[in-house]
Amino acid sequence: MVDMICDYYSTVGQQRVKPGVEPGFLRGQLPASPPEQPEAFEDVLRDVQEKLMPGVVHWQSPSFFAYFPSNTSFPAALADMWAGALSMIGFSWAASPVSTELEMAMMDWLAELCGLPAAFRCNGGAGPGGGVIQGTTSEAVLVALLAARARALRGRVQADKLRLVAYSSDQAHSCFRKACMVAGVDHVRMLPTSAEHNWELQPEVLQAAIDADLAAGLLPCFVMATIGTTSSCAVDPVARLAPVAARRVSNGLGRAGGCGAWLHVDAAYAGAAALLPEQRSAHFGDLGAVDSYSFNPHKWLLVNFDCCALWVADAGPLKEALSLTPVFLQATGNALDYKDWQIPLGRRFRSLKLYFVLRMYGAEKLRAYLRHHIALAAAFAAALQADPRFELAAPQRFGLVCFRLRDVPRQVNAALLEAVNASGRLLIIHTELGGAYTLRLAVGSASTQLEHVEAAWEVIKGAADQVLRQHAERTAAEAPAAVPARA
Amino acid sequence: MVDMICDYYSTVGQQRVKPGVEPGFLRGQLPASPPEQPEAFEDVLRDVQEKLMPGVVHWQSPSFFAYFPSNTSFPAALADMWAGALSMIGFSWAASPVSTELEMAMMDWLAELCGLPAAFRCNGGAGPGGGVIQGTTSEAVLVALLAARARALRGRVQADKLRLVAYSSDQAHSCFRKACMVAGVDHVRMLPTSAEHNWELQPEVLQAAIDADLAAGLLPCFVMATIGTTSSCAVDPVARLAPVAARRVSNGLGRAGGCGAWLHVDAAYAGAAALLPEQRSAHFGDLGAVDSYSFNPHKWLLVNFDCCALWVADAGPLKEALSLTPVFLQATGNALDYKDWQIPLGRRFRSLKLYFVLRMYGAEKLRAYLRHHIALAAAFAAALQADPRFELAAPQRFGLVCFRLRDVPRQVNAALLEAVNASGRLLIIHTELGGAYTLRLAVGSASTQLEHVEAAWEVIKGAADQVLRQHAERTAAEAPAAVPARA
Q: Is residue A354 part of a domain?
A: no
- Provide the shortest C-alpha distance from residue A289 to chain B (in Å): 24
A336/A386 same-domain check: no
Nearest CA in chain A to B88: A59
A182/A326 same-domain check: yes
A102 closest CB neighbour out of B26, B35, B305: B26
A254/A150 same-domain check: yes
Judge whether B62 and B452 are in contact, CB under 8 Å. yes
Q: Is residue A186 part of a domain?
A: yes
Q: A315 is in which domain, residue-wise?
A: 89-349
Q: Is residue B48 part of a domain?
A: no
**B373/A125 Cα distance (integer angstroms):** 39
A84 closest CB neighbour out of B27, B67, B304: B304
C-beta neighbour count of A159 within 10 angstroms: 10
Encode pLDDT of B304-314 as tens digits: 999 999 999 99
Encode pLDDT of B122-158 as tens digits: 998 888 999 999 999 999 999 999 999 999 999 899 8
Determine the pLDDT at residue B326: 65
Encode pLDDT of B279-327 as tens digits: 999 999 999 999 999 999 999 999 999 999 999 999 999 999 999 876 6
Residue A34 to residue B356, Cβ atoms within 8 A: no
A313/A214 same-domain check: yes
The residue among A318, A349, A380 that closes a domain is A349
Mean of the pLDDT values across residues A153-180? 95
Name the domain count of chain B.
1
Nearest CA in chain A to B296: A346
- Residue to substitute from A108, A181, A351, interface B, most B β-carbons within 10 A: A181
Q: Give contacts of A9 with chain B, Cβ < 8 Å.
A: 85
Going by C-alpha positions, the residue among A294, A336, A349 that lies closest to residue A142 is: A294
- Residue to substitute from A88, A320, A351, interface B, most B β-carbons within 10 A: A88
Report ipTM (2 d.p.).
0.94
What are the residue ranges of helices labelled H in B324-445?
A: 351-385, 410-422
A242/A182 same-domain check: yes
| Pairing between β-strand B164-169 and β-strand B390-392 as defined by DSSP bridges | unpaired
The residue among A296, A314, A349 that closes a domain is A349
Q: Is residue A81 part of a domain?
A: no
A160/A228 same-domain check: yes
The residue among A292, A326, A349 that closes a domain is A349
A383/A293 same-domain check: no
pLDDT over 90, % of chain B:
89
**A261/A107 Cα distance (integer angstroms):** 25
A142/A219 same-domain check: yes
Q: Give contacts of B306 with chain A, Cβ < 8 Å.
A: 346, 348
Provide the CATH number for the domain around residue B178: 3.40.640.10
Determine the pLDDT at residue B325: 78
- Provide the shortest C-alpha distance from residue B142 to chain A (in Å): 9
B182 closest CB neighbour out of A101, A343, A361: A343
Provide the CATH number for the domain around residue A1: 3.90.1150.170
Residue A182 to residue B183, Cβ atoms within 8 A: yes
Mean of the pLDDT values across residues A366-371? 98
A345/A294 same-domain check: yes
Determine the pLDDT at residue B388: 98
Encode pLDDT of A25-78 as tens digits: 999 999 999 999 999 999 999 999 999 999 999 999 999 999 999 999 999 999
A38 closest CB neighbour out of B39, B78, B361: B361
Q: Give contacts of B324 with chain A, Cβ < 8 Å.
A: 174, 177-178, 181
Q: Is residue A242 part of a domain?
A: yes
- Provide the shortest C-alpha distance from residue B472 to chain A (in Å): 31
Mean of the pLDDT values across residues A182-189? 97
Mean of the pLDDT values across residues A171-180? 97
B87 closest CB neighbour out of A33, A78, A304: A304
Nearest CA in chain B to A111: B33
**B329/A9 Cα distance (integer angstroms):** 36
**pLDDT band with cut points at 50, 70 and 90 for residue B257:** low
Q: Give contacts of A110 with chain B, Cβ < 8 Å.
A: 34
Beta strands in B104-186 (DSSP E): 130-134, 164-169
A315/A392 same-domain check: no
Between A9-13, B110-114, B267-271, the lowest mean confidence (pLDDT) is in A9-13
Encode pLDDT of B119-129 as tens digits: 999 998 888 99
Encode pLDDT of A24-36 as tens digits: 999 999 999 999 9
Asked if the model's pLDDT at residue A255 lies above 60, the reply is no
- Provide the shortest C-alpha distance from residue A443 to chain B (in Å): 16
Pairs of residues, one from chain A and one from chain B, whose beta carbons lie less than 8 Å apart: 343
Q: Is residue B297 part of a domain?
A: yes
Residue B138 to residue A105, Cβ atoms within 8 A: no
Going by C-alpha positions, the residue among A186, A360, A17 that lies closest to residue B35 is: A360
Please give the torsion angle defined by the CA atoms of residues A250, A251, A252 and A253, in that order, rounded to the nearest 10 degrees.
-100
C-beta neighbour count of A480 within 10 angstroms: 8
Q: Is residue A462 part of a domain?
A: yes
Residue B346 to residue A182, Cβ atoms within 8 A: no
Determine the pLDDT at residue B487: 44
Residue B124 is given by DSSP the state G
Determine the pLDDT at residue A248: 74
Q: Give contacts of A163 with chain B, Cβ < 8 Å.
A: none
A197/A298 same-domain check: yes
A26 closest CB neighbour out of B102, B181, B362: B102
Stated as kind and residue range, the H or E segment containing B439 is strand B436-442
Asked if the model's pLDDT at residue B486 lies above 70, the reply is no
Determine the pLDDT at residue A325: 78
- Provide the shortest C-alpha distance from residue A387 to chain B (in Å): 30
Q: Is residue A400 part of a domain?
A: yes
> Cα dist. B216→B187, B210, B253 in Å?
12, 10, 20
Asked if the model's pLDDT at residue A124 lies above 90, the reply is no
Edge-to-edge strand ranges of the sheet holding A390-392: A390-392, A400-405, A436-442, A429-433
Asked if the model's pLDDT at residue A211 lies above 70, the reply is yes
Determine the pLDDT at residue A335: 72
- Provide the shortest C-alpha distance from residue B201 to chain A (in Å): 22
Q: Give contacts of A52 with chain B, Cβ < 8 Å.
A: 98, 102, 352
Determine the pLDDT at residue B336: 85
Mean of the pLDDT values across residues B243-263? 77
Asked if the model's pLDDT at residue B376 lies above 60, the reply is yes
- Provide the shortest C-alpha distance from residue A480 to chain B (in Å): 37
Q: Give contacts of B136 with chain A, Cβ < 8 Å.
A: 344-346
What φ, ψ does residue B251 adopt, rounded to 5°?
-100, 15
A164/A290 same-domain check: yes
Asked if the model's pLDDT at residue A369 lies above 90, the reply is yes
A343 closest CB neighbour out of B76, B82, B139: B139
